[in-house]
Amino acid sequence: MTQSHILQALIAENLVSDPDSARGRLLREAARLFRDKGYERTTVRDLAAAVGIQSGSLFHHFRTKEEILKAVMVETIRLNTALMQSAVDAAGSDREKLRALVRTELESINGQTGEAMAVLVFEWRSLSEGSQAEVLALRDIYERLWLDVLQSLQKDGVLNADPFIVRRMLTGALSWTVTWYKPERGGLTLDGLTDQIMAMMSL
Amino acid sequence: MTQSHILQALIAENLVSDPDSARGRLLREAARLFRDKGYERTTVRDLAAAVGIQSGSLFHHFRTKEEILKAVMVETIRLNTALMQSAVDAAGSDREKLRALVRTELESINGQTGEAMAVLVFEWRSLSEGSQAEVLALRDIYERLWLDVLQSLQKDGVLNADPFIVRRMLTGALSWTVTWYKPERGGLTLDGLTDQIMAMMSL
DNA sequence: AGATACCAAGCAAGCGCTTGGTTTGTAAAT
DNA sequence: ATTTACAAACCAAGCGCTTGCTTGGTATCT
């Protein structure tokens, strides 16, 4: 199961938009703009211009501006949950599973879906409370993947700290890479970065 | 040198505002509002109402809304750099110095200056480029404190990863605590949390 | 022929900030 | 002790602009 196969499957189930469709292109441009300028500073006119239509025409596809933000977040979580699940399943030992989770999340944050992942972290408060609850429910599935592996590592005495806290630390640490990690500079690859994180935990 | 003595010294040097002054009260309310609603969603009318004046009167104290955001950030960094410096100086071994840095930063993030620290992390992009450069220069002093200790730990073989990367991971992990750490819930104290972080790094 | 996708125009509300004038605090001059 | 002077702090009103979103109509595709 390659990454593109997972994406294809999700598109077929209508869980994420085809990147080549009008909707998919808009969501990608929206993620980029939201990350670069922030949700509030991005106007519907900016969004429309990015895909070459009039601002009013946006509301034929989405009822409100917020609905666009929510769609970016929901589709990103869906895709990344599937990618993580696949990565965990493919790994052998628990230590390898953790490495796969770290590596996959780094790739989500710093790769293709990076813009959308940054939006997920930094534009959270721009969602209405109702939408926050919806997105939160999706995140729970995603988080269970991590906790299962971390708890197993703790039981075996490999990990010395509380799994819940370790996961929260990793969430912050990995999210933050988006602000400084530039693969082209310094020659540090994603694999190298993953190694450093494992080494930091003496794992 | 207690925390309040450090604050008093900075006030005397006019590097941070007295929390009891009109300016100090406004900055504290601004930090709270910016954290809760975000900078863009907070209007000058919100800010004025929070300190009980008319919106136009704000511009007697600050020339623009952005100047308020910048002042919140600058004063927060100044205060916390002084607190960190003091904490490092008081500690004995390098391991204790690192623990003091972690503990102090957690306190900055989750204590009195927590609102302002969250603003520093999440509202960064709302600053103009010029202001960003100014604030960045102040952060450099702050960061050198961390790097000196981490490099020393690496040299002694206690730390297995690159100091720059470790600091960046810790920045993310510690900043992120603001989104989940609630001392009243769960009974986890700041000292306990600090222990967990050191344990996570097997230190 | 009927939906789907879009445009051109603009509305109502809210935004940061300005303006002209009034009150308040302070301190020297009488 | 009272007056005078002046700046700092504030208010009331509103200007000009941008915002998210609506409306009525026109292409385009099946």
Band of pLDDT at residue A186, cut at 50, 70 and 90:
confident
CA of B60 to C1' of D3 (A): 29
- pLDDT at site A45: 97
DSSP per position, A164-178: HHHHHHHHHHHHHGG
pLDDT tens-digit map of A127-156: 999 999 999 999 998 899 999 999 999 999
Give pLDDT, residue A120.
Answer: 93
What is the spatial distance, in angstroms and rounded to an integer, between the CA atom of A56 and the C1' atom of C5? 12
Name the nucleotide nearest B40; use CA and C1'.
C15
**CB proximity list for A65: less than 8 A, separation 6 or greater:** A44, A47, A58
B168 interaction partners in chain A (CB closer than 8 Å): 173, 176-177, 180
Query: CB pairs below 8 Å between A and B: how many?
Result: 85
Contact check, Cβ <8 Å, B166/A40: no
Contact A166, B198 (CB under 8 A): no
Average pLDDT score over chain B: 94
Sorting pLDDT into bands at 50, 70 and 90, what band is A183? confident
- Cβ separation of B197 and A169 shorter than 8 Å? yes
Inspect the interface and report whether the beta carbons of B200 and A160 lie closer than 8 Å: yes
For chain A, the average pLDDT equals 94
pLDDT band at B17 (very low <50, low <70, confident <90, very high): very high
> Is the separation of the CB atoms in B112 and B32 below 8 Å?
no
- In chain A, where does DSSP find H-type helix? 3-12, 22-37, 44-51, 58-61, 65-90, 94-110, 114-122, 129-155, 163-176, 190-200
pTM: 0.92
The CA–C1' separation of B60 and D5, in angstroms, is 22
A55 pLDDT above the threshold of 80: yes
Count of other CB atoms within 10 angstroms of residue B50: 16
| More confident site: A96 or A4 | A96
Asked if B177 and A168 come within 8 Å (Cβ–Cβ), the reply is yes
Using alpha carbons, select from B39, B188, B69, B186 the residue that is nearest to residue B135.
Answer: B69
Burial B168-182 (b: 16+ CB within 10 A, else e): bbbbbbbbbbbeebe
Whole-number Cα distances in Å, A33 to A28, A146, A182:
9, 30, 19
Across the interface, of B122, B160, B177, the residue whose CB is closest to A199 is B160
In one letter, which amino acid is A139? Answer: R
CB-to-strand D contacts below 7 angstroms: A 42-45, 55-56, 59, 63-66; B 22, 48, 52-57, 60-61
Most A CBs within 10 Å: which of B169, B185, B188, as the mutation test of the A interface?
Answer: B169
CA-to-C1' span, A21 to C1 (A)? 26
The percent of residues above 90 in pLDDT, for chain A, comes to: 91
Give the integer Cα–Cα distance in Å for B36 and B34: 6
pLDDT band at B59; cut points 50, 70, 90: very high
Does the beta-carbon distance from B200 to A172 stay under 8 Å? no
Please answer yes or no on whether A168 and B175 come within 8 Å at the CB atom.
no
For residue B2, pLDDT over 90 is answered with no
Chain B residues lying within 8 Å of A176, measured CB to CB: 168-169, 171-173, 175-176
